Amino acid sequence: AQSVAQPEDQVNVAEGNPLTVKCTYSVSGNPYLFWYVQYPNRGLQFLLKYITGDNLVKGSYGFEAEFNKSQTSFHLKKPSALVSDSALYFCAVRDMSGGSYIPTFGRGTSLIVHP
Amino acid sequence: GAVVSQHPSWVICKSGTSVKIECRSLDFQATTMFWYRQFPKQSLMLMATSNEGSKATYEQGVEKDKFLINHASLTLSTLTVTSAHPEDSSFYICSARDSGRGEQYFGPGTRLTVT
């Protein structure tokens, strides 16, 4: 079984400050982890993914995420937030050993960046 | 990058009518496509997985006679909401899995409003 949790419904941050959007996961085998962003009335846009290798993954628009196996976390980060980063962010996980290629999505975290 | 389109982007229909939503992979072949439903400020709910040339696999609780899915070619899947009711109003998002690279790409979504 695979599951993912995004503990925060909403994250507020001032423009220019660093941001973190949290994600924890649970899988039986090795995780395949993703972050997506969704703007209002739009589909999901891929930000980054982790399969294996370096624990720090760099993605689109200056975002990065750190894979932490011991804490089963994959938090999304950005050193300096922009107002245009305000959107809904989804973490997703797929169990690489499960044979299924269907990811499970978290409930989403609304990021609000204040000017 | 890989592009998935959806048509229409929004549709308003009267209760009791049927609505067809198209999902196309524009520059890759997709043996598998997924249909999701998203309620306001909520995560994506997987409705069904469709494989080209075969019947769709529906998630538990999704009425297959109400949500007809057809995946007749490697680049096109359709979702038909039959006898729509106001409670079917939602944001429907399709996703296509690139058969070659194994990656999953999302369409921009279709906003359905049933009056």
DSSP code string of chain A: --EEE---SEEEEETTS-EEE--EEE-SS-EEEEEEEE-TT--EEEEEEE-SS-SEEE-GGG-EEEEETTTTEEEEEESS--GGG-EEEEEEEEETTSS----EE---EEEEEE-
A106 has a chain B CB within 8 A of its CB: yes
Q: Tell which A residues from 44 to 63 touch B, by Cβ distance under 8 Å.
A: 44-46
**The predicted structure's pLDDT at residue A92:** 94
**The predicted structure's pLDDT at residue A97:** 77
Q: What is the pLDDT of residues B49-91, one digit of tens each?
A: 998 888 899 999 999 999 999 998 999 999 999 999 999 999 9
**The predicted structure's pLDDT at residue A99:** 62
Confidence of residue B40 (pLDDT cuts 50, 70, 90): confident
Confidence of residue A100 (pLDDT cuts 50, 70, 90): low
Q: What is the pLDDT of residues B13-25, one digit of tens each?
A: 999 999 999 999 9
Over 80: is that where the pLDDT of A98 sits? no
A89 has a chain B CB within 8 A of its CB: no
Q: What is the pLDDT of residues A14-70, one digit of tens each?
A: 999 999 999 999 998 889 999 999 988 788 898 999 988 889 999 999 999 999 999
Rounded-to-integer distance, Cα B53 and Cα B55, Å? 7
Q: Contacts of residue B93 in chain A, CB cutoff 8 Å?
A: 43-44
Rounded-to-integer distance, Cα B11 and Cα A90, Å? 25
Over 80: is that where the pLDDT of B94 sits? yes
Confidence of residue B1 (pLDDT cuts 50, 70, 90): low
Inter-chain CB proximity A36 and B106 less than 8 Å: yes
The pLDDT of A78-91, averaged and rounded, is: 96
Other Cβ atoms closer than 10 A to B109: 22
Confidence of residue A102 (pLDDT cuts 50, 70, 90): confident
pLDDT averaged over every residue in chain A: 92
Inter-chain CB proximity A43 and B106 less than 8 Å: yes
